[in-house]
Structure 1
Amino acid sequence: MYNPTVARLTYKAVLGRRRAAILFVLPALLLLIAFAVRTLNGVDDQVAADVLGGFALATMVPLIGVIAGTGAISPEIDDGSIVYLLSKPVKRPVIVFTKLIVAIAVTMAFSAVPTFLAGLILNGNGQQIAVAYTVAALVASIAYSALFLLLGTVSRHAVVIGLVYALVWETLFGSLVPGARTLSVQQWALSLAERIAGDGLVGSDVGLPAAVALLAGVTVAATWYAGHKLRSLTLAGEE
């Protein structure tokens, strides 16, 4: 289910010069914010949770997911080079799964690692804040990667749509509108962080069993449908 050649090409596309620059900017900004907050405010568990929840999980993780998830496949579809890949004797599910693994790995590396480091800077992992938000970033990375990989297969405007989803739905509606929170990857991930962190420091509107089921369901469904769309694209090309 994993093809090294497809993985190498996908890493090259995702970590291209322009995308890599953006990928490094967001974690660097998080660490800079963490240093500034720690210097100005000292150690405060609630402030640490607010910074990691408000910037790391609500903004950085979905934006990196957009870059990695769409970048894993949409450039090849846009420039037509996907036809050459599909002409090789590699099963379509293997292509999608390999690209998903690459997107997840990149998203985790550029979101979960800096989230943990920022948590250590802010309060030294007091009340398990750093670990809680790192786990949330890890599980959110999986769901975001699958969603944005799917988006890259169904739309030529995947990056724009992904940014709207990340900035408007997840960051704005997901934080302010109660009904929208239950349909937010961010809230599902927060449910796991809530279980790990100290009492009252992290909150989620979604129960843990429902959150786990939704994270798994969305990931599996998005991956399956991305494979379905890729098979349809192959048939169209052959016709």
Structure 2
Amino acid sequence: MYDPTVARLTYRALLGRRRALILFALPALLIALAAAVRGFTGADDQAAADVLGGFALGTMVPIIGVIAGTGAIAPEIDDGSVVYLLSKPIKRSSIIFTKLIVAIAVTMVFSAVPTLIAGYLLNGNGQQIAVAFTVASLVSSIAYAALFLLLGTVSRHAVVFGLVYALVWEAVFGTLIAGARTLSVQQWSRAVAHEVAGNDLVTSDVSLTTGTVLLVVVTVLATWYAGRKLRTLKLAGEE
């Protein structure tokens, strides 16, 4: 189902100059913040958990997911160039699957790697905090990429809606309102981080089982529906 040509075109689109600047800016900011916190507080486990949970997992990962997920397909749909891809003898399910893999890979690289570096800067992976949030970044990258890839197939304003979700729902409602927390990718991935860390410095409002099941269900359903929407997208001349 993976198509190397589609993957190459998608990587080229995602790592173009404008998007690449944004993709590099957030990890650089996280690492700079981690270095500053370490300089002011020393190797503090709670400070490390707060920075990685609040900025890395709560803000950086979903925003990178928006950029990678929507950028994998939304621009092609918006400018109409997707018709050239759809006119090729490639299954539309293969197109979606390949774009999802690319979006996941980009989100993981620009999220998990800086999270690990920042974690070691903050407290040298004391209490397994750096590794725990790195794993959480990896699993949440999959769900975010699928969700925002779906958004890119159903809306011409995918980036706007994606940023509203990332910055308002995940970063605000998903942090402050108890009921919203259970419907947050961030909280689901924090459940995984809690299991990895094995301590109360990393907490979640959902259990590991619930979080894992919801991560899988959302990823599968979002991917399936994105493929369905792409299959129903008509080319000129199609009945």
Where does residue 129 of structure 1 map in the other structure? 129
CA distance in 2, matches of 1:81, 1:87: 10
Contact 1:129–1:198, Cα closer than 8 Å, also in 2? no
Q: Deviations over 1:144-174 (max 9, x none)?
A: 0000000000000000000000000000000
Q: Trace 1:64-143 onto structure 2 (pairs within 5 A).
A: 64-143=64-143
> 1:196: how far off?
1.3
Q: Tell me the distance in 1 between the aligned counterparts of 2:154 and 2:15.
A: 22
Matched, 1:29 2:29: yes
Deviation, 1:234, is 3.1
Cα pair 1:132 1:196 within 8 Å, conserved: yes
Match of 1:202 in 2: 202
| Counterpart-to-counterpart distance in 2, 1:10 and 1:198 | 38
Aligned to 1:150: 150
Distance 2:93 2:163 in 1: 26
What letter corresponds to residue 134 of structure 2 in structure 1?
A: T
Report Cα offsets for 1:38-90 as digits up to 9, x if no partner.
Answer: 01110110110000000000000000000000000000000101001000000
- Report the residue type matching 1:78 in the other structure: D
SS in 1 for 2:43: coil
CA contact (8 A) 2:45 2:126 kept: yes
Distance 1:119 1:227 in 2: 36
> Residue 203 of structure 2 aligns to a residue in which SS?
coil
**What RMSD in Å do the two structures reach over aligned CA positions?**
0.9
2:105 and 2:236 map into 1 onto residues whose CA distance is: 31
1:237 Cα shift? 6.3
The answer as to 2:2 corresponding to 1:2 is: yes
Q: Per the alignment, in what secondary structure is the counterpart of residue 88 of structure 1?
A: coil
**Cα deviations by residue, 1:118-157 (Å, 9 ceiling, x for unpaired):** 0000000000000000000000000000000000000000
TM-score scaled by structure 1? 0.98
Distance between the aligned counterparts of 1:190 and 1:56, measured in 2? 12
Letter aligned with residue 125 of structure 2: N
For the pair 1:170 / 2:165, whether they are aligned, the reply is no
CA distance in 1, matches of 2:174, 2:224: 26
Equivalent residue for 2:234? Answer: 234
Report if aligned partners of 1:86, 1:234 keep a CA contact under 8 Å in 2. Answer: no
Deviation at 1:16, TM superposition (A): 1.1
Distance 2:233 2:64 in 1: 26
Aligned length: 239
Q: TM-score, normalised by structure 2?
A: 0.98
CA contact (8 A) 2:83 2:235 kept: no
Amino acid at match of 2:107: T
Superposed displacement of residue 199, structure 1 = 1.6
In percent, how many aligned pairs have the same letter? 75
Provide Cα deviations, 1:104-129, integer angstroms capped at 9, x if missing partner: 00000000000000000000000000
